[in-house]
Every structure is written in C-alpha cells, then in structure tokens.
Amino acid sequence: MKGLASVVCFVLLAVPAGGQNPEPGATLSFARPQGPTAPPAVITLQDALDRARRIDRDILSATADAEIAGEDIIQAKAARLPSLNHTSEYIGTQGNGATPNGRFVTSDGIHVYRSLATVHQEISPNTIFKTDYQRAEAAQALATAKVEIARRGLDIVVTENYYSLVAAQRRYASAQLGVQQAQRFLEIAQQQERAGEAAHSDAVKAELQLQRQRRGFQDAALDIENTRLRLAVVLSPTLDENFTVVDDLDSAKVLPPFAELRTMAEKENPDLKAANAAVSQASFEVRSARNALLPSLRIAANYGIDANAFKLHSIQAAEPDAGPLPNLGYSLTFSLSVPIFDWGNTRSKVRQAQTRERKVNIELTQAQRQLAGNLYAFYNEAVAARAAVDLARSSADLATESLRLINLRYQAGESTVLEVVDAQNTLIEARRDYDQSQVRYRLAISALQSVTGGF
C-alpha cells in the first residue's frame, strides 16, 4: 500500500502530527522476553524459513529417521556380501592320567588351541533377489518424503506467522494514522464550534471518535506483540524477539497456469512420493515373507589352527607316534536349509504382509484423490485471493479520496459529523481489508506450493 515503508519497524508510541507527545491512553507497557540489546536483525521470509527449519522438532525428527534409513541401506547391502571373522580360543581339559587325551570325549587333548579366520556367506532368495536391500531403499525414500512433508508443513506455519506480523504492523500504522486524523478532526470541530458554525454535539462526536481510534490503536499494538511472539516461538530457541520483518506483500509471486502446477504436483508432491514409497516397501515385505518358504544355503570357510599346540607343526595327542604334523589348514561347511513345517507361521507372515500391501495401496489412491482435490481448491483460492487484492486496493484508494472530500465539505458546512466519522471508519476498514487480502493471497500461494513445490 502507498505510504508504507518496505521495512516495518516495531514502534509502540503513536506520535501525532507536529511531533507532540502522545495523548493519555495512547501508550501501553507490555511484558516481553529479555533479548540482546543489539540493533534488531532484518529478516526476510526466506531467512525466517531457514531459522525455523534449523530448530523445528518435526523436521529434525524426520531428518534423523531419514539418516537411520540410510544406515539400514548400508547394513542391507553388507548383509549380501561375505563376512570375515577371526576367533582365538584355548580349551584346557583335565587329563585321564593314562593317555595324552583329556577326560572329555569332545577334547582330543589336554590342551586345544584354536585360531581361525572364518568367511561366512548366506545364499538365500533375499540375497539373490536383493529383497531386503530394495526394501531398505524404499524405506529411505519414504523417510525422505516425510522430511519434505514436515518442511512444507512448517513453511505454511512460518509464512502465516510472518505475514500476520507484517499485517499487524500495517494495521498499527493505519491505527496510528486514524488517531492522527481523528485528532485533527476534533480540532476542526472545536474550531467550528467556537466560530458558531457547528453544534457542540459535533465536538462531542469527534472526541468519541478519537477515543475509539485510540482503543483501536492500543488493540493494534497488542496484536503486534502477540504476532511477534508467535513468530519468535518458531524462529528462535531462546524466544528472541530482536528482529524486524520485511514488508514484501506488494511483490507477491505471479500465479502460474493450472496445467503447469498440475505437472509440478504430479512430480514433486511429497505426500504422493511417501505413499508410493510405502507401497514399494510393502511389496518388498511381501516378497521377503514369501522367500522364507524357499530353501537357503549357508557356507562357512575356516582357515587357521585347531591343534594341541599353538604352532605351525606339533605332535598330536591322539597320534604321538606320527611325529610333528602340520597344524595350519582349512575346513568348509555347507548347510542347506529347506523349510518343511512350522505350524503355518511363515504363511501367516505372508498373509500379514499382503494385508499391509493392500492397506498402503488404499492410502495411495486416497493420497492421489486428496492431491487432486487440494490442487484445485488451493488454486481456486489463490485466484480468488488475487482478485480480492485488486478490489481491496481500489476500495482503499476510494476510501482515502472520500475522506479527503468529506473533510473539505465539513469545513465548508456541507457535510455532517456523522459522515466524517463514517468516512474515517470506512478508510480504516478498507486499509485493513487490503492488508488481509494481501496476506490471504500469500497464504494461498504458500498452500499451493505445499503440494506443487516452489515456483
């Protein structure tokens, strides 16, 4: 709106024309969180979004989930590859007194040393078809989509609070102007009364109007306090209110064509991405459950020492007459597991996974319908809000001109005090409607961007 500064600063005192002190009742003393005494930082909407994203609980939680899902991918990938372990073991067994063997059947000597490197590989349907790995990838895609959902949800909240503060400070400026106009009109009415050109009731009505404007000014000051505090809650971990906001309501984004926005929504909507990722994850869970019905093979290769002495060559307790024999060697173990009967446990898991898959498919279709509905609703709201801005701007200009003309007519004795008061109230209301219509358009654009991405 014309006459409003591009950077709105926080002022609590209404200063009438001529630099005089404000009238009694025009000031309020509010309780505020203590903050630094440095000059206030000027923040744009993007600055506010960046600050809020760094401290928002939902975004930080969703980001942590995405990082956890990324580690699951690393683990699932590692599970498909052979693993290498080394174990060292000493077994001491009481001898039987007659032979070099121990008293326990499983021990082939009193002293047994084992130092083995083991390579283990599992060959199962999940390993061959990369089921667990692909399921982990789908889970990460879902977690990443949830980060974007949280981010866009926060953007709407921050945008609403940011422009609520801008609008509140505009209302404050309008209320301050209303007090000044009412003060000037009271002076004119009193001059007209002293000159015998107006009744005393006109001066009384003008004074009532001044008091009304002062109450509106105080309400506007309180509104600034509340909106600033709400914005500080989402921007600052210490509730720091030492900032000013940039009034860029007059430079709103142009609304793109609907066809372009629909294409963007189909590609960039995080809710749709999350629903698709959930479907993919559920399908891999079904496949993993079915794979449990198939055979699996485990291979273990051991290389090292398993002897009565920790040496490369030694005399075995079971064959002392053979002399020193080599201890270093290898062994291979192949284990084939074929599932036969488990009381229906595996098939129950398959049915359970299939039920989850049907559920997420239903959620996917619901997300698709919801996306289409939101896209149309948000776009139509933006169109209506844009039209409302143009009408409100014209109304504000007309109300300004109307008040000017009625003031001139009143001074000429051609208008009544009620017409002047009505014109003043109409101007304040028109300015308020213009500010609210601009905020409405900005919020409509923000809601539209929540389903389409930035434009």
Flag whether pLDDT at 21 surpasses 70.
no
249, 439 contact by CB (below 8 A): yes
Question: Using one digit for the tens of pLDDT, what is the confidence trace for 105-131?
Answer: 666 778 888 899 999 999 999 999 999
Which pair of tokens denotes residue 147?
A: 């980060």
- Quick check: is 7 in a domain? no
Query: Can you point out the beta strands (E) in 132-266?
Result: 243-246
190: part of which helix (H) or strand (E)? Answer: helix 131-194
Query: What integer pLDDT is reported at residue 142 of this predicted model?
Result: 95
Q: CA–CA separation, 203 vs 191, rounded Å?
A: 9
- Residue 23 above 70 pLDDT? no
Residue among 429, 361, 439, 354 at smallest CA distance from 396: 429
Residue 1 is encoded by which pair of tokens? 């709106």
For the segment 279-291, the average pLDDT, to the nearest whole number, is 95
Q: Which of 344-353, 410-419, 422-431 has the lowest mean pLDDT?
A: 410-419
Pull the structure tokens for residue 440.
């409405």
Residue 148 in contact with residue 273, Cβ under 8 Å? Answer: yes
**Is residue 224 in some structural domain?**
yes
What is the pLDDT, as a whole number, of residue 316? 75
pLDDT at 4 (0 to 100): 36
Among 250, 265, 44, which Cα is nearest to 152's?
Answer: 265
* pLDDT for the residue numbered 27: 65
Q: Average pLDDT of 289-307?
A: 93
54-73 tens-digit pLDDT: 999 999 999 999 999 999 99
Give the chain's domain count: 1
pLDDT for the residue numbered 335 = 94
Q: Which long-range contacts (CB under 8 A, 24 or more apart) does 8-14 make?
A: 8/166, 8/169, 8/170, 8/173, 8/244, 8/245, 8/246, 8/247, 9/40, 9/244, 10/40, 10/169, 10/224, 10/228, 10/244, 11/172, 12/221, 14/175, 14/176, 14/179, 14/180, 14/217
Per-residue confidence band for 416, with pLDDT thresholds at 50, 70 and 90: confident
Give every CB contact of residue 180 below 8 A, 6+ residues apart in sequence. 14, 16, 17
**378 part of a folded domain:** yes
Question: Among 84-93, 215-224, 320-329, where is mean pLDDT lowest?
Answer: 320-329
Q: Examine residue 27 and state whether it is found in any structural domain, yes or no.
A: no
Residue keyed to tokens 């001044």? 210
Q: Has residue 99 been placed in a domain? A: no
CA-based nearest residue to 255, from 54, 448, 395, 42: 448
Give the range among 16-25, 128-137, 148-157, 236-245 with minimum mean pLDDT.
16-25
Residue 105: per-residue pLDDT: 61
Does a structural domain hold residue 98?
Answer: no
| pLDDT at position 99 over 80 | no
The pLDDT-based confidence of 345 (bands split at 50, 70, 90) is very high
Query: Which of 193-197, 228-232, 323-327 tops mean pLDDT?
Result: 228-232
| Residue predicted with more confidence, 5 or 111 | 111
For helices 131-194 and 45-55, give the axis angle rounded to 10 degrees.
Answer: 130
Alpha carbon distance 309, 112 (integer Å): 7
Report the pLDDT averaged over residues 282-296: 94
In angstroms, rounded to a whole number, what is the distance separating the alpha carbons of residues 415 and 402? 12
Lowest-confidence range among 78-87, 190-199, 327-336?
A: 190-199
Whether the full predicted model's pTM is greater than 0.75, yes or no, is yes
- Residue 172 domain-assigned? yes
Residue 124 domain-assigned (yes or no): no
Q: What is the pLDDT of residue 358?
A: 96
Provide the CATH number for the domain around residue 346.
1.20.1600.10
What is the Cα gyration radius of the chain? Answer: 39
Tell me the residue range of the domain where 76 lies.
Answer: 41-80+130-294+339-452
Query: How far apart, in Å, are the Cα atoms of 319 and each of 109, 271, 314?
Result: 10, 72, 11
pLDDT of residue 20: 37
What is the DSSP pairing of strand 243-246 with strand 41-43? parallel
In Å, what is the CA distance from 306 to each residue of 116, 149, 339, 352?
Answer: 8, 58, 33, 46
162-180 pLDDT per residue, tens: 999 999 999 999 889 889 9
